[in-house]
Amino acid sequence: MIKLGIIGYPLGHSLSPAMHNAALKTNHIEGNYVALETEPEKLEERLCFLKTEGFRGFNVTIPHKVEIMKYLDSIDNFAKVVGAVNTVVIDENKKLHGYNTDVYGFVQSIPEEIKGNLKGKKAAILGSGGAARAVLVGLIEMGIREISIFARNKEKSLELKEVILKNFSGVEINCFDLNKNIDLSRFSIVVNTTPLGMQGKNEGISPLSQESIATLPGNALVYDIVYKPPKTSLLEYAEKRELKTLNGLGMLILQGSKGFELWTGQKPPIKTMREAI
């Protein structure tokens, strides 16, 4: 029997158990996937639990994606570049191996016709945590050559800039303070990687005002990686402008499919995973 899970705090918003349990059932794999709410100060304790209880692997979400790296026995090159891990495999010797599948999930969730129009354009990222790191790498992969990070923690955004510039050339990274009234007229894509808007204490809160969204060009894409609720206040503001929008469901499904493959060695049933969500 295979034991899988997700660690993060809070986890009331997580759809991963429904998605992965449906995938296990479809592929006739005996096992289950559980949500394990883990406060930051209890991360090390949780990792010991996962090893002693015989888990095969787990996902990592806010706020552990960067912090977890210090506890891992190996980290794949992609995760090293991103500087964040969202998927961990536990081998038969109880060693922890970290991967980042968020970049794949983010890039593949954007329709090809939109991706083609973003090449050479300017992007704005809201936030500077683990998810922001993956989005940054994904944007560079798509040919974005100027990215502005808007974050409340200036130190973290500067650290993120340094990590990216060490690994990529030909890209310009700028860091600014995040406030609700940013002028977005230069940007073709805005990606929210903060928890603002997420179900729970942040629900109904937008990182940007309607006035700020009003400054975006008419062909811009607003991408909120929050997936519960499926339509955040930020996306509602964008829809009022008749802008293209995406929520985080596609990214969740596609990054999850990669994790499923790493844990089971089987082809993920993506259609089933999507239907479960």
Instruction: Indicate if 104-246 has the same CATH topology as 2-100+251-276.
Output: yes
pLDDT tens by residue, the chain, 277 residues: 999 999 999 897 789 999 999 999 999 999 999 999 999 999 999 999 999 999 999 999 989 999 999 999 999 988 998 888 999 999 999 999 999 999 999 999 999 999 999 999 999 999 998 889 899 999 999 999 999 999 999 999 999 999 899 999 999 999 999 999 999 999 999 999 999 999 889 999 999 999 999 999 999 999 999 998 999 999 999 999 999 999 999 999 999 999 999 999 999 999 999 999 8
- Asked: is 2-100+251-276 a CATH 1.10.10.10 domain? The reply is no
The predicted model scores a pTM of 0.89
For tokens 């709410």, the residue is: 37
Structure tokens belonging to residue 260: 């499923």
**Domain-by-domain residue ranges, the chain?**
2-100+251-276, 104-246
> Which residue in the list 3, 42, 51, 65 is annotated as catalytic?
65
Assigned CATH topology for domain 104-246: Rossmann fold (3.40.50)
In DSSP terms, which residues pair with 99 in a beta bridge?
Answer: 87
Whether 65 is a known active-site residue: answer: yes
Spatial CB neighbours of 266, under 8 Å, sequence gap ≥ 6: 27, 29, 260
Fill in the amino acid letter for 92. Answer: E
